């Protein structure tokens, strides 16, 4: 029992650090935890292995594809890419073993929510000291004050879903307080990504029972593929430049992300995500047949044309805001297919159990995992996703916990 508490405490510290300036060190601090958990629980349910198979295959594809370029690529970028792609399966695996160790879904969910809530409250210290600051916040000042917490949506969703199925994590007042702070953190983030995610995942419980999620997932895949490849094969008028207001940024969102070339540095600066994705995809098309299938491997980078920023910044692009471009360049079209299959299998894992189960924990777990699939899918499209310097550690650990819980419950039902 004492070991359980120490492991949970250490994991909580890692989750806290992952939301601070120390986030880059979390992967190294997590290695001892993973080793301890593996030594204590070396066996994993075969169902769990199948669900993570495609994620590990993506990692090894990038590794193998880099071998022909070992003498050409910069070792620094090679090692960075390896770290980017190993973190996601690593933290999911920690979540899997964590559930095997703690064996209490409620305690783990409470720990995740509390770590997010503590960081949110800490980030609000400037607002607490000067409440009038809230009237000065806006699109231009969001980075200056840095009052939002990227995991606030996750904390809100866990509480919201738990309350919807009458699964109590805390008392009513504390739950409402967490939800209020989380919503406030989302509101002052002025992040289009966060707003869209929050609205979407609020609707998931209402559409999951109607079997719409698979259709929605398929449509999302097609939309991503069209956004990535459509700009290179279809003559669509360039999106031009956006205004300086939040409303103009919202209306300009799709144009900004559409993958295509631009002629002027002003257009590039206002459509940077689409243009950097264009550079990455152009680099991918330079590959041979093997590289088109399996990518150019870890260490592949894109050099930004000098005329864009005159060599002053972003002259080298190892990864992209559109995480699907990162996957394509490093692991090819096969890696991209495997990523879509990984998310599909997670969605398939929970849909039937959510529709048929009367167990509150199982329904909650299924709902959360459904939401996570679309969170990962959307974040990969607009803000790097899983393969980044600082991945969404709380989200990944929670994913592992939920996978192991559902796999364990299914094993129990099969034995009965």
Blockwise average pLDDT, block size 10, the chain, 416 residues:
85 93 92 92 76 92 94 92 94 94 94 94 75 62 64 93 92 95 85 83 76 87 86 55 51 64 77 86 93 95 78 77 94 96 90 66 90 92 86 94 83 50
Q: What is the pLDDT of residue 409?
A: 64
Using CA atoms, how far residue 298 sits from 85, 89, 150, 340, 377, in Å, is 9, 17, 27, 20, 22
Task: Tell me the residue ranges of DSSP E strands in 67-182.
Answer: none
In a domain, 167, yes or no: yes
In a domain, 292, yes or no: no
In a domain, 305, yes or no: no
In the chain, the number of structural domains is 1
Q: What is the pLDDT of residue 249?
A: 54
Q: What is the pLDDT of residue 118?
A: 92
In a domain, 235, yes or no: no
pTM over 0.85: yes
Q: What is the pLDDT of residue 416?
A: 45
Question: Which structural domain range is residue 364 located in?
Answer: 2-215+326-415
Determine phi and psi for 2, rounding to 5 degrees.
-65, -40
How many Å is the Cα radius of gyration of the chain?
Answer: 22
Helix (H, G, I), strand (E, B) or coil at 49: helix
In a domain, 223, yes or no: no
In a domain, 308, yes or no: no
- Quote the CA–CA distance of 31 and 85 in Å, as a whole number: 15
Q: What is the pLDDT of residue 3?
A: 75
- Quote the CA–CA distance of 24 and 159 in Å, as a whole number: 28
Q: What is the pLDDT of residue 125?
A: 75
In a domain, 366, yes or no: yes
In a domain, 172, yes or no: yes
Max alpha carbon distance in the chain (Å)?
A: 68
Q: What is the pLDDT of residue 208?
A: 65
């Amino acid at each position: 029992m004492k070991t359980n508490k120490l492991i949970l405490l250490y994991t909580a510290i890692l989750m806290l650090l992952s939301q601070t300036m120390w986030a880059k060190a979390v992967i190294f601090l997590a290695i001892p935890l993973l080793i301890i958990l593996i030594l204590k629980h070396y066996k994993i349910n075969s169902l769990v292995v199948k669900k993570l198979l495609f994620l590990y295959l993506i990692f090894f594809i990038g590794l193998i594809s880099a071998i022909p370029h070992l003498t050409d690529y910069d070792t620094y970028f090679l090692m960075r890419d390896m770290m980017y792609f190993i973190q996601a399966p690593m933290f999911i695996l920690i979540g899997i073993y964590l559930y095997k160790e703690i064996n209490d879904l409620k305690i783990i969910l409470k720990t995740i929510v509390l770590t997010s809530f503590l960081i949110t409250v800490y980030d609000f210290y400037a607002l607490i000291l000067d409440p009038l600051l809230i009237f000065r916040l806006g699109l231009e000042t969001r980075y200056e004050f840095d009052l939002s917490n990227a995991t606030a949506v996750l904390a809100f969703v866990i509480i919201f879903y738990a309350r919807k199925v009458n699964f109590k994590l805390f008392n009513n007042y504390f739950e409402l307080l967490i939800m209020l702070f989380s919503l406030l953190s989302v509101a002052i983030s002025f992040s289009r990504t966060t707003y869209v995610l929050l609205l979407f995942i609020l609707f998931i419980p209402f559409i999951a029972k109607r079997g719409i999620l698979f259709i929605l997932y398929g449509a999302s895949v097609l939309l991503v593929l069209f956004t990535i490849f459509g700009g290179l094969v279809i003559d669509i008028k360039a999106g031009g430049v956006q205004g300086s207001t939040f409303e103009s940024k919202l209306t300009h969102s799709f144009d900004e992300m559409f993958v295509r070339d631009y002629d002027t540095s002003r257009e590039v600066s206002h459509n940077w995500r689409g243009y950097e994705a264009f550079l990455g995809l152009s680099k991918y098309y330079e590959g041979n047949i093997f590289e088109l299938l399996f990518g150019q491997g870890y260490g592949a980078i894109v050099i930004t044309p000098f005329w864009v920023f005159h060599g002053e910044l972003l002259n080298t692009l190892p990864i992209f805001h559109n995480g699907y471009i990162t996957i394509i360049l490093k692991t090819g079209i096969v890696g991209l297919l495997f990523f879509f299959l990984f998310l599909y299998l997670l969605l398939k894992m929970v849909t039937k159990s959510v529709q048929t189960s009367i167990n509150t924990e199982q329904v909650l777990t299924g709902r959360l995992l459904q939401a996570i699939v679309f969170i990962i899918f959307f974040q990969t499209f607009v803000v790097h996703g899983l393969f980044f310097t600082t991945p969404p550690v709380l989200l990944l650990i929670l994913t592992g916990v939920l996978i192991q819980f559902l796999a364990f419950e299914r094993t129990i039902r099969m034995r009965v």
